[in-house]
Amino acid sequence: MQDVQSYLDELRGKLEVKFSNQTEFLQAVDEFLSTVAPFLEKNPEYVEKNLLEMLIIPERIIEFRVPWMADNGAWCVNTGYRVQYNSALGPFKGGIRFHPTVNQSIIKFLGFEQIFKNSLTQLPIGGGKGGSDFDPKGKSEGEVMRFCQSFMQELQKYIGPSLDVPAGDIGVGGREIGYLFGEYKRLNGYQTGVLTGKPVSFWGSLARTEATGYGLVYFVNHLLMDQGDSLADKRVLVSGSGNVAIYAIQKAQALGAKVYGCSDSSGYIIDEDGIDLAVVKEIKEVKRGRISDYVKLRPNAKYFEKENIWDVNLSFDIALPCATQNEISEASAQNLVKQGVKIVGEGANMPTSMAAVEVLKQNNIFYCPGKAANAGGVSVSALEMAQNSQRLPWTFEEVDQKLEAIMLSIYETCRDTAAEYAEPMDLMAGANIAGFQRVATAMVSQGLV
């Protein structure tokens, strides 16, 4: 039988040739492959069965044209994607991203990570992801609605409550999910469970809006408690000021941390008196404005135009990247070390480059990978599916308690799996191996399909 290292090297070489232009996808795969050797050594049947290559090739990729009309009558067109990655554990499940940078590489990296994340939740969901290079920023309500309707006219052919259940991601929140749901309903009838992240008025789950940010902070809090520590008075910075960032700030503050800064794609703010979340919410959730407006309402705060928050000159304890992929470069990671950071908890998907992860590791900074730490969102999406199947809503407290229990279980699984197969507290290896183990077992049991 081929030895594990030569199998992995050969596979890497093959993928680099086949997907040479898909850098984010190759990055996500490479990060995964760099951690699984010890598990494969103990479980050689997965090498014999070539299961890794099987997992890395998506079950299906759908790419489609999305034509729509701008308010001024212009004929516009974007590209839509849905990657139905792996259905060994349940219907494909994962968000939809609307952002101008979206391409097949981005959707594939997100879909690949989603497989392991969903597996770690222990809930019956497979992995998928979708999106479009449409930019909702600066578009009118009418334009966003017409785009969503056109996107769903095509996507509806491929999704369903037991087949593939999309949700939100960057640029897709309750408003967009509402328009997507309305169009699906018009074409197929009322099927509550076809999308999650729905507004509560039509069978969305209470606490789904908060779930990713809250879940991230629960994960970090359990890590701290394991070290005999707590969030009280910890100095925290958060990147982004969207859905994940806002509710991470809310929960961190509720647990006694001091959050001093957040950002958007134009720059970042530092408020030494502590972020006033009501002001951020008004700017971002109500006015859909820019974070620079914060300093107009809080004149003691400072705004840093076109700068990355991770290059800040301020000492702090915990970094919560909640914006986008590769926002923490190797140089930014070195700055985090300089500023005294002890924990990096990823709310975003793959926000830390591989070179940056290496810097964190070498400096003994606890690194909580997104596929574990941001799994709260998809977990509550799965709970939304359960409520929709039951046709009964659960209370906020009920959902929140289940969310915290799931995040504790994910944290403990990653910690214990790391201890068994890698370095203690190598949570990235723990997440990859534990996530893989469950999917791989299911794939083998289901045969070559």
Ligand X SMILES: NC(=O)C1=CN([C@@H]2O[C@H](COP(=O)(O)OP(=O)(O)OC[C@H]3O[C@@H](n4cnc5c(N)ncnc54)[C@H](OP(=O)(O)O)[C@@H]3O)[C@@H](O)[C@H]2O)C=CC1
Ligand Y SMILES: O=C(O)CCC(=O)C(=O)O
Please list every residue from 149 through 188 that binds ligand Y, using CB under 6 A: 167, 169
CA distance 184 to 171: 19
Write phi, then psi, for 78 (nearest 5 degrees): -130, 170
Q: How long, in residues, is the chain?
A: 449
Residue 129 falls in the annotated catalytic set: yes
Q: Which does 241 bind (CB under 5 to 8 A by kind): ligand Y, ligand X, none?
A: ligand X
Please list every residue from 322 through 351 that binds ligand Y, using CB under 6 A: 349
Q: Which is nearer to ligand Y, 165 or 312 (CB)?
A: 165
Q: Which does 265 bind (CB under 5 to 8 A by kind): ligand X, ligand Y, none?
A: ligand X
Under DSSP, the state recorded for 156 is T
Which residue in the shown chain puts its C-beta closest to ligand X?
A: 242
Of 274, 216, 210, 277, which is closest to residue 247 (Cα–Cα)?
A: 210
Can you give the binding site for ligand X, defined by CB under 6 A?
A: 168-171, 212, 240-245, 264-266, 322-324, 347-349, 374, 377
> To the nearest whole angstrom, how small is the minimum distance from the Cβ of residue 176 to ligand Y?
13
387 and 393 Cβ atoms separated by less than 8 Å: yes
Convert 331-342 to b/e letters by CB count within 10 Å (16 or more is b): ebbbbbeebebb
> To the nearest whole angstrom, how small is the minimum distance from the Cβ of residue 98 to ligand X?
8
Segment (H or E) for 28: helix 23-33
Dihedral, 350, 353, 356, 362 alpha carbons, nearest 10: 70
Residues 6+ apart with CB under 8 A from 97: 106, 107, 110, 129, 130, 131, 132, 169, 170, 171, 172
> To the nearest whole angstrom, how small is the minimum distance from the Cβ of residue 167 to ligand Y?
3
Q: Is 243 assigned a ligand-binding role in the annotation?
A: yes
Phi-psi region of 441 (alpha: psi -120 to 50; beta: other; left: phi over 0): alpha
User: Does residue 93 interact with ligand Y by CB under 6 A?
Assistant: yes
Q: Which is nearer to ligand X, 84 or 118 (CB)?
A: 118
Catalytic residue among 14, 18, 49, 129: 129
Q: Which does 170 bind (CB under 5 to 8 A by kind): ligand X, ligand Y, none?
A: ligand X
> To the nearest whole angstrom, how small is the minimum distance from the Cβ of residue 110 to ligand X?
6
Stretch that binds ligand Y, among 93-101, 135-143, 316-324, 325-333 (CB under 6 A): 93-101
**Residue 290, helix vs strand vs coil:** coil
> To the nearest whole angstrom, how small is the minimum distance from the Cβ of residue 216 to ligand Y?
11
Active site members? 129
Question: Binding site for substrate, residues?
Answer: 93, 114, 117, 168, 381
Q: Contact residues for ligand Y (CB under 6 A)? A: 93-95, 114, 117, 167, 169, 196-197, 349, 377-378, 381
